[in-house]
Chain A
Amino acid sequence: DQQVKQNSPSLSVQEGRISILNCDYTNSMFDYFLWYKKYPAEGPTFLISISSIKDKNEDGRFTVFLNKSAKHLSLHIVPSQPGDSAVYFCAARDSGTYKYIFGTGTRLKVLA
């Protein structure tokens, strides 16, 4: 069973507009939620995280929102830039084991 789900395999956005990537989870034992960005032929790189006790975390153009009642989080990128084109993985850290469970990824394409 997939504990972390990214239901949109791909997303295309115009440069300068907002990109919204979504993620759903089923386990309430996660203490942190993270977003990673992955370029082809490279490893995933950490982008931003949020504690399960928060509902928003912002870092420059990137903001992550957490809705615990809906078990849903989203990553907002504004304004989107062509260099943001990559695969974005949502991940959750288990509070007991500290292991990270990843979603299947969303491929973002920012059109110039």
Chain B
Amino acid sequence: DARVTQTPRDKVTEMGQEVTMRCQPILGHNTVFWYRQTMMQGLELLAYFRNRAPLDDSGMPKDRFSAEMPDATLATLKIQPSEPRDSAVYFCASGTTLNTEAFFGQGTRLTVV
């Protein structure tokens, strides 16, 4: 049962703390996306990778957000320091250039208090 796995599912943290969200893409998928769901913007694209190389991270606040792919089975999104306005659901998705659709994980619900 191929699926995108995200951890943790829920995270509550205090303002100023570092937060790391993890994503395991579907085996064989060479493109990984990070999205953030907000009420006003819907699903915002934060960053994406192809073959582990970052292609576009223009959607991320550069001063506090960073995204990496240490290997083909792991993508990370880090926020340091976190702020209350970062509270949202963060989704990872993976796909290939051969397929039409991308597949989403269950999301990480982040609450910064």
Contacts and interface: CB of A to CB of B under 8 A. Distances in A.
Interface of A: 6, 32, 34, 36, 41-46, 49, 89, 91, 93, 97-105
A46 B4 contact: no
A53 B97 CA distance: 18
Given A34-B101, A42-B106, A46-B101, 18 more contacts: A34-B100, A36-B104, A41-B107, A42-B107, A43-B104, A43-B107, A44-B104, A45-B104, A89-B43, A93-B100, A97-B56, A98-B50, A98-B97, A99-B45, A99-B56, A100-B93, A102-B35, A104-B42
Q: How large is the interface on B (under 10, 10 to 19, 20 to 34, 35 or more residues)?
A: 20 to 34
A43 B106 contact: yes
Question: What is the predominant secondary structure among interface residues of chain B facing chain A?
Answer: strand
Contacts of A41: 106-107
A104 B4 CA distance: 22
